[in-house]
Structure formats: structure tokens, C-alpha cells
Amino acid sequence: MADLPTLRAVHALHVAAIPFENFSPFLGEAVPLDTASLEAKMIKKRRGGYCYEQNGLFKLILEEMGFGVRTILARIHWMSSPQDNPRGHMALIVDTKDGQYFADVGFGGYLLDAPLELIPNIAQRSPTSNFRFERTGELYILQVELSDTWHNVYQFTTEPAYPIDFEMANWYNSAHPQSRFRTNLMITG
């Protein structure tokens, strides 16, 4: 069951069913990351969420299906300068019978609509775009091709991140008065 076709199918279903949105932080509401809260918001109430919620729920689903999943922190480049952004975006590295794949169902800037094999310098086609990873030492940069030009989306290492890392990042993004999630309403789907 923990194979690439299953990962691709579940990834596609998730991004088709659950939109990226930041209504809760924008409205000043708390954004709890525990399992019961994620299930209540996105499954029972049929709401969306942002990366910690989306990828948090997706990780739980994949683990229940038998995938090995590691969370990582990324630094956003998309439509901003990386030096203006902390490492605060959650994404996933998924072990399958077919190799190691990168998955992210919770990026609101340029949605990754399929898992990508975690290999550098090879263009990979998703249903909507070409993506690739550039790699320098331990640092990966996810890029998307738009109008024949490669654009940086975010950078990361494969070092695992832990729930406490996301609690801190989630607090900043949902509660700090200067957080982009508090000052700009966003939805993609």
C-alpha cells in the first residue's frame, strides 16, 4: 500500500478537496495543531487551513496508510526575499516502496499538486507544472518553471523538524501582529 501510485492518488485527492486558506489567523482565532482539531476543522467542518494544518493532517493520513513520513522546515522564497522569512513552512519527505518523495499539500503560493521524487537537477512534471530541486551541499531549493524560466519557491534541508518547531512557527504565523497570515486574507484551491 505504501507505494508511489497510492501516494500520488492521496496527494491529488487532498489538494482537490481541501483548500489552502488562512481565515483563522486572519480573524484572530487560535490555530490548534492537535489531531482532533485538524480532523474537526478540515474533515468535519470541511474547512481548509495553512501548511501546519494541511501537512499535519496529510502526515497523519500517510502514516496510517503505512508510509514513513518526516516533517521538515522550509524558508520561503516565493514572492518575497528569503532573508525576510524564517524557516517556518512545513513540508514532508515520504518514504515509499519506490523511493523517497517530497510532498506538500499546504503551500498557498504555488501549490505543489503532486509528490516529487527527491532528486536534484531533474525537471519533474506534475499535472499542472514542471518542478525541480536544485541542490548545493545539504540545501535544496524547490523551483517551478513559469514561461520558460525557473523560479525559486522555497529552500530546505532534509533535517527532521519536530512538533515543537511547528508550535513556535504556528504561534508566530497565527498570532504575531506583523505575520502575513494576520494581515492578508489568502485562499487557493
pTM: 0.93
Q: Would you say residue 187 lies in a domain?
A: no
Clarify whether 176 is annotated catalytic: no
Catalytic residue among 51, 98, 151, 165: 51
Catalytic residue among 11, 14, 77, 89: 89
Clarify whether 113 is annotated catalytic: no
Q: Would you say residue 189 lies in a domain?
A: no
DSSP state of 113: -
Q: Would you say residue 188 lies in a domain?
A: no
Q: Would you say residue 185 lies in a domain?
A: no
Residues 125-146 as b or e (16 or more Cβ within 10 Å = b): ebeebebbbeeeeeebbbbbee
Q: Tens place of pLDDT for every residue, the chain, 189 residues? A: 699 999 999 999 999 999 999 999 999 999 999 999 999 999 999 999 999 999 999 999 999 999 999 999 999 887 666 666 767 899 999 999 999 999 999 987 667 889 999 999 999 999 889 999 999 999 999 999 999 999 999 999 999 999 999 999 999 999 999 888 999 888 886
Q: Would you say residue 35 lies in a domain?
A: yes
Q: Would you say residue 97 lies in a domain?
A: yes
- For residue 26, give the CATH number of its domain: 3.30.2140.20
Number of domains in the chain: 1
Q: Would you say residue 17 lies in a domain?
A: yes
Clarify whether 51 is annotated catalytic: yes
* Domain limits for position 158: 4-176
Catalytic residue among 95, 104, 148, 165: 104
